[in-house]
A and B are shown apart, each in its own frame.
Chain A
Amino acid sequence: MKYKLIIDKDAQEEITAIVHAPSALTRQIEDLVRGFSGADSIMGYREDEMKKLSFQEIECITVIDRKVIAIDEAGNQYRIQERLRELEEILPSYFIRINKSAIANENGILRFDAVFSGGVDAVFRCGYREYVSRRCFAQIRRRYERV
Chain B
Amino acid sequence: MKKYALEFVRRGLIACGLGPIILAILYLILQRHAALEMLSVNQVCVGIFSLAALAFIAGGMNVVYQIERLPLMVAILLHGGVLYISYLGTYLLNGWLEQGTRPMLVFSGIFVIGYLVIWAVIYFITKRNTEKLNKMLQEKQQACDK
Residues in A lying within 8 Å of B, measured CB to CB: 21-24, 27, 94, 99-100, 106-107, 109, 111-120, 131, 133-135, 137, 140-141, 144-145, 147
With both beta carbons as reference points, the residue of chain B lying nearest to A141 in the complex is identified as B133
The majority secondary structure among interface residues of chain A is: mixed
In the complex, how many angstroms separate the beta carbon of A130 from the nearest chain B beta carbon?
11
In the complex, how many angstroms separate the beta carbon of A97 from the nearest chain B beta carbon?
11
CB contacts (< 8 Å) of B119 on chain A: these are 118
9 contacts between A and B (CB under 8 A): A94-B144, A99-B69, A112-B130, A116-B73, A117-B72, A118-B71, A119-B71, A131-B69, A141-B132
In the complex, how many angstroms separate the beta carbon of A75 from the nearest chain B beta carbon?
20
Say whether A144 contacts B146, CB under 8 Å.
Answer: no
B127 within 8 A of A: yes
In the complex, how many angstroms separate the beta carbon of B79 from the nearest chain A beta carbon?
12
Say whether A119 contacts B130, CB under 8 Å.
Answer: no
The number of chain B residues touching the other chain, given as a range, is 20 to 34
- A27-B144 contact given A109-B137, A111-B137, A145-B136, CB 8 Å threshold: yes
- A114-B140 contact given A24-B145, A119-B71, A120-B130, CB 8 Å threshold: no
B22 within 8 A of A: no
